[in-house]
Amino acid sequence: MEEFRKKVHKRVVIDSLICGNAILLYMALLFFTKGASEFGQGISIGLFCGFEIVAVYTLAKNFTALHNDDRLKEMYINENDERNLAIAKETSQKSSLITVILTALAAVAAGFFDVKICLTLVAALLLSAVVNIIVNIYFNKRM
Amino acid sequence: MKNRIQELRKARKVTQQELANALCVTRQTIISLENGRYNASLVLAHKAAQFFGMTIEELFIFEGDEDLKGE
């Protein structure tokens, strides 16, 4: 449990840095997206706001857990419960397989209408395959 | 794989939540184990056996060779 407490403490520090420097991060975002299209700026600002909201939420959650042993244990159990981990693993495997199949079908369908979209989808499939191979090699060496 | 968790838990008047807390898992995991929908890992099986003061073989009933067919 002490290890987990340290982990939660680290999360609180990281979240505090993200929340505390929100204005600086926002200024940096504005600087880097200067000259970008209105749509692009809107997307990046929207993502930034979402990111900050998640950071505030996790900060509050982790901070409360850090000062309440019962909540900390509950959080530990929820995060480390082997059934939850097994479900997450199965979900991730099945959903990535379904995504690959749907992307492949979409690429075939797009081939009849727009070459650019078709090539983009094929590139996404290739990227997914490369990432899969790299992650597989990593875990083969690790386990 | 069948197990005697529900039987032993009830005999000892332990609630699912209490058992879940003792084994550091969620109550839903205990429910799934008792219903036979989920098979415990070796670590959890060990913890459960320790909790009930018996061996893994006494707590979990390995039926037949369904998991060995692939070998």
Per-residue pLDDT tens digits for A105-126: 999 999 999 999 999 999 999 9
Residue A82: how many CA atoms within 13 Å on its side-chain side?
15
pLDDT at B68 over 60: no
Cα dihedral sign for B24, B26, B30, B36? Answer: negative
- pLDDT value, residue A26: 83
User: What was the ipTM of the complex prediction?
Assistant: 0.82
- A-B contacts (CB, under 8 Å): 28
Structural domain of B42: 2-61
CATH, residue B36: 1.10.260.40
Q: Which run of H or of E encompasses B60? A: strand B60-61
What is the overall mean pLDDT for chain A?
91
- Alpha-carbon distance A87 to nearest alpha carbon in chain B (angstroms): 10
> For residue B66, is it within any domain?
no
> For residue B28, is it within any domain?
yes
Tens-digit pLDDT profile for residues A53-90? 999 999 999 999 999 998 999 999 999 999 999 999 99
pLDDT range class, residue A40, cuts 50, 70, 90: confident
Q: What is the CA radius of gyration of chain B?
A: 12
Cα dihedral sign for A58, A60, A63, A66? Answer: negative
How far is C-alpha A107 from the chain's CA centre?
A: 25
Q: How many CB atoms lie within 10 A of CB A38?
A: 7
**Mutation test of the interface with chain A: which of B25, B30, B31, B42, choosing the one with the most A Cβ atoms within 10 A?**
B25
> For residue B33, is it within any domain?
yes
Q: Which residues of A fall within a CB distance of 8 Å from B26?
A: 77-78, 81, 83-84
- pLDDT value, residue B70: 47
> For residue B37, is it within any domain?
yes
**Mutation test of the interface with chain A: which of B19, B29, B31, choosing the one with the most A Cβ atoms within 10 A?**
B29
- Alpha-carbon distance A92 to nearest alpha carbon in chain B (angstroms): 18
> For residue B69, is it within any domain?
no
Which of B47, B27, B46, B39 lies closest to B3 in space, CA to CA?
B39
pLDDT at B71 over 70: no
> For residue B67, is it within any domain?
no
Q: Which residues of B fall within a CB distance of 8 Å from A77?
A: 20-21, 24-26
- pLDDT value, residue B62: 83
Q: How many domains does chain B have?
A: 1
Q: Which run of H or of E encompasses A62? A: helix A38-66
> For residue B70, is it within any domain?
no
Tens-digit pLDDT profile for residues B15-44? 999 999 999 999 999 999 999 999 999 999
Q: A21 at the B interface (CB within 8 A)?
A: no
Report how far residue A28's alpha carbon sits from residue A19's, in angstroms, rounded to the nearest whole number.
14
pLDDT range class, residue B66, cuts 50, 70, 90: low
- Alpha-carbon distance B64 to nearest alpha carbon in chain A (angstroms): 24
Angle between helices A22-32 and A38-66 (to 10 degrees): 160
Q: Which residue has the higher pLDDT, A97 or B69?
A: A97
pLDDT at B64 over 90: no
